[in-house]
Amino acid sequence: MDYKEVRDKAREILSPVCLVCKECNGVACAGWTPGVGAKGTGNTFKRNYNYLQRIHPVMDTIYPDRGYNIEIELFGNTYGAPIFIAPIGGMDINYGDKITEEEYDYRIVKGAVDSGILAFTGDGANDQYFLAPLKAIEEFGGKAIPTLKPWKNPEVIEKIRIIEKLNVPAFSMDIDSAGLVHLAKSGKPVSSKSVEELKEI
């Protein structure tokens, strides 16, 4: 399968919520939230993309020929590369109806395990966004990182108790999702966390 075929297949699954642009730079999809674009003007997405364009590998062939190693140690485990799959939940609202939550989560967890890297899984207003990935995480021996939204602490702690049974190396929280409008509209608002609240967690 070549790159064109990959993009064509992606369009079948993601259209019309993602245009599968030749360069994923946040320009065409600015403000498409929920969805693949960044919030508001999308300037943060665009700035991040532009910054990354300034980073270039430098070829160096003057070293003993012993191969290379880009492994990273994290959470007491070794991973094949410092590359991680971002936590995304809500396939139905972010990516359309052509891929289910369960199918997406299975693919990313399996793909990460097969590649020797690590997947982070999502959370959201619909409880299934948090629960669906747990099946794949359990199937692959806890080799993924569940991500929680910054809910009120009692709900966060309740979800941590579920996660603890899966033998995962860690859990994460995307505190920067505090204030997402679509979560507030769904009746499940998220908010910033104080140092005291984080200590409780």
pLDDT digits 0-9 by tens, 63-112 = 888 888 899 999 899 999 999 999 999 998 888 888 999 999 999 999 99
Lowest mean pLDDT among 11-15, 74-78, 124-128, 183-187: 183-187
Per-position DSSP letters for 63-97, written without gaps between them? S-SS-----EEETTEEESSS-EE-----HHHHT-S
pLDDT exceeds 80 at position 166: yes
Q: Are residues 114 and 194 in the same domain?
A: yes
Number of continuous H segments (helices) and E segments (strands) in the chain:
8, 6
Q: Are residues 89 and 145 in the same domain?
A: yes
Own/partner contacts of 48-51, CB < 8 Å, gap of 24 or more, are 49/24, 49/25, 50/25
- Domain assignment present for 2: yes
Q: Are residues 42 and 101 in the same domain?
A: no
pLDDT value of position 109: 98
DSSP state letter for 38: P
Residues in the chain: 201
Q: Are residues 41 and 109 in the same domain?
A: no
- Domain assignment present for 65: no
pLDDT value of position 72: 96
- Domain assignment present for 88: yes
- Domain assignment present for 64: no
The average pLDDT across 26-43 equals 87
pLDDT value of position 95: 87
Instruction: Report which of 23, 7, 177, 165 is spatially closest to residue 86, judged by C-alpha positions.
Output: 177
Q: Are residues 4 and 89 in the same domain?
A: no
Q: Are residues 10 and 93 in the same domain?
A: no
- Domain assignment present for 66: no
Which range marks the domain in which residue 36 is found?
1-58
pLDDT value of position 150: 96
- Domain assignment present for 82: yes
Q: Are residues 52 and 79 in the same domain?
A: no
Q: Are residues 97 and 137 in the same domain?
A: yes
- Domain assignment present for 180: yes
189 pLDDT tier (thresholds 50, 70, 90): confident
pLDDT exceeds 90 at position 199: yes
pLDDT value of position 78: 96
Tokens of 66: 């012993």
- DSSP E strand stretches across the chain: 72-74, 77-79, 84-85, 118-121, 145-148, 172-173
Q: Are residues 16 and 81 in the same domain?
A: no
Of 17, 32, 58, the domain-final residue: 58
Structural domain total, the chain: 2
Q: Are residues 92 and 2 in the same domain?
A: no
pLDDT value of position 87: 95
Query: pTM of the prediction?
Result: 0.87
Identify which has the larger pLDDT, 124 or 188: 124
pLDDT exceeds 90 at position 57: no
- Domain assignment present for 102: yes
Q: Are residues 28 and 104 in the same domain?
A: no
Q: Answer yes or no: are the C-beta atoms of 39 and 48 closer than 8 Å.
A: no
Residues whose CB is less than 8 angstroms from the CB of residue 201 and which lie 6 or more positions away in sequence, other chains included: 153, 156, 157, 160, 173, 193
